[in-house]
Amino acid sequence: MALIAGIELLRGILIQTKIYDCSLGTSSRMFDLNKYVIFDPSDSEFINNPYPTYKILRDHDPVHQTAGGFWVLSRYEDVAAGLKDPKLSNRPAAFALVNRRNADRYMAAKVANGLIAFLDPPEHRGPRRLIATTCNAFFKGKEGFAGDVADELLGRLRHKPEIEFVQDFSIPFATTCISRIMGFPDADAGLLKHWSGLFFYLFHAIPNREILAEVNQALSEFRDYVQEHVEMRKRSPGDDLLSQLLNAGGGEEALSEREVIDNVMLLTADGIENVQAGLSAAVYTLLGNPDQLQRMIADRTLIGAAVDECLRYESPGQYQGRVVRETLEIGGQTIKAHSVVLLVLGSANRDPAVFSEPDRFVVGRAGPRHVAFGVGRHACIGGALVNMEFSAALGSLFNGARVMLTLQPGVTWTSRAGHRWLSTLPLNCRWHTESVAN
């Protein structure tokens, strides 16, 4: 998941390219050699639909150097290779606010440098292995709990003719699930959501000093909160992931208290922000493709395949950043040491060289797996949990005996660099009588 933290040069980056208009005839026709396409994550057109920009990059400049000096990789082959390449470092860039040199100045830098997402081997190897092993063992056999959470939420909504899905379902679903996993009180959901939203500025641009101050304050509060729960678990361990992480390994292999605290913050924030975003996008995508939704409803064994296709089609994390350790060559371009590389997952997952008709949503699609969770040593630890939570939520939401959901106008996307997150998703709800009666 991680990486380019603190980059503040993304605004106004220009991509000069040749653009072709295939609609003018059977052969492609160049119509404006001097046209510029703005690669700007804050641009409203890009926020609403980044995929035309990605297509231009893949077709004409797949290893592109921006005016700001960053390199943008947009093809699946290059992105997948880059995610695994040890020459590409996860450590924050030298100019990033969260670089290690700022750990004594900013809480953001202090927290970032305790996260496995920002570590390289060999420091990364031990903590990553312990955290992954502990998480996998903890999640095993807990497949039913997310379905229970989804059913609880639907029970509270069952009389409403309209809902705003992000606020009414996906955020409470994500916060409740991760709270119960970590052993945090359900009543703290609002705090956890607030802290998690600001936590995610660690991974991309912190746009101004005001937001930096908010991030530092939120992370201080978040850290104190987890520290309090650590002290409680040390006195009285519980059946929760935080307790398991505190007891993971042994001796010199055990996680330090700081490693537990900072990475519990990471897991919590990821379990809230990317889960609520991915689930909202999945529901939006399914409702916008009713033929594929009906296939899934008719054959519930396809729910897992639908989750995979939703993650490919609308990846919550659109790109990851890396820093080049030593000069290398990619796609015929020489990229010098210390350069920043953006690995565009959202573009790789729409690459026609890998996915047939990539802009179509097809449940049960054959072919390689998406890279929405990354691959290699920094692949998302919670990937299996996300799949389980999404499958449970979609199974509850699209149970034909309960409610029929339809899209309303007013869908909006969040302006947040590096992410594809819905802000609002208004839905009509037609509840079945027997469901309401129960």
pTM of the model: 0.88
357-378 pLDDT per residue, tens: 999 999 999 888 999 998 878 8
252-277 pLDDT per residue, tens: 788 999 999 999 999 999 999 999 99
Q: Report the Cα–Cα distance between both ends of the chain, in Å, rounded.
A: 42
208-254 pLDDT per residue, tens: 899 999 999 999 999 999 999 999 999 999 999 999 999 998 777 88
Q: Is the pLDDT of residue 405 over 90?
A: yes
Give the pLDDT confidence score for residue 121 in this predicted structure. Answer: 86
Contact 102, 334 (CB under 8 A): no
Give the pLDDT confidence score for residue 39 in this predicted structure. Answer: 66
Give the pLDDT confidence score for residue 72 in this predicted structure. Answer: 93
Give the pLDDT confidence score for residue 12 in this predicted structure. Answer: 34
Averaged pLDDT score across all residues of the chain: 86
For the ranges 15-29, 60-74, 110-124, 191-205, the lowest mean pLDDT is seen at 15-29
Q: Is the pLDDT of residue 3 over 60?
A: no
pLDDT tier at 11, thresholds 50, 70, 90: very low
Domains parsed from the chain with CATH numbers = 13-28+35-437 (1.10.630.10)
Other beta carbons less than 10 A from residue 366's beta carbon: 7
pLDDT tier at 33, thresholds 50, 70, 90: very low
Rounded to whole angstroms, the Cα distance separating 264 from 258 reads: 10
Token couple for 72? 């943008």
DSSP string, 215-253: HHHHHHHHHHHHHHHHHHHHHS--SSHHHHHHTSS-GGG
Amino acid, single-letter form, for residue 232: M
Residue carrying structure tokens 């005996």: 401
Q: Is the pLDDT of residue 42 over 80?
A: no
Give the pLDDT confidence score for residue 17 in this predicted structure. Answer: 34
Give the pLDDT confidence score for residue 329 in this predicted structure. Answer: 94
Rounded to whole angstroms, the Cα distance separating 190 from 202 reads: 20
- Average the pLDDT over 75-99 and give the result: 91
pLDDT tier at 93, thresholds 50, 70, 90: confident
In this structure, the chain runs to a length of 438
Q: Is the pLDDT of residue 13 over 60?
A: no
Q: Is the pLDDT of residue 15 over 70?
A: no
Q: Is the pLDDT of residue 197 over 80?
A: yes
The answer for residues whose C-beta is within 8 angstroms of residue 123's C-beta and 6 or more apart is none
Rounded to whole angstroms, the Cα distance separating 306 from 289 reads: 11
Contact 286, 306 (CB under 8 A): yes
Kindly give the residue spans of alpha helices, DSSP state H, lying in 25-124.
44-48, 51-60, 76-84, 107-112
Rounded to whole angstroms, the Cα distance separating 369 from 371 reads: 7
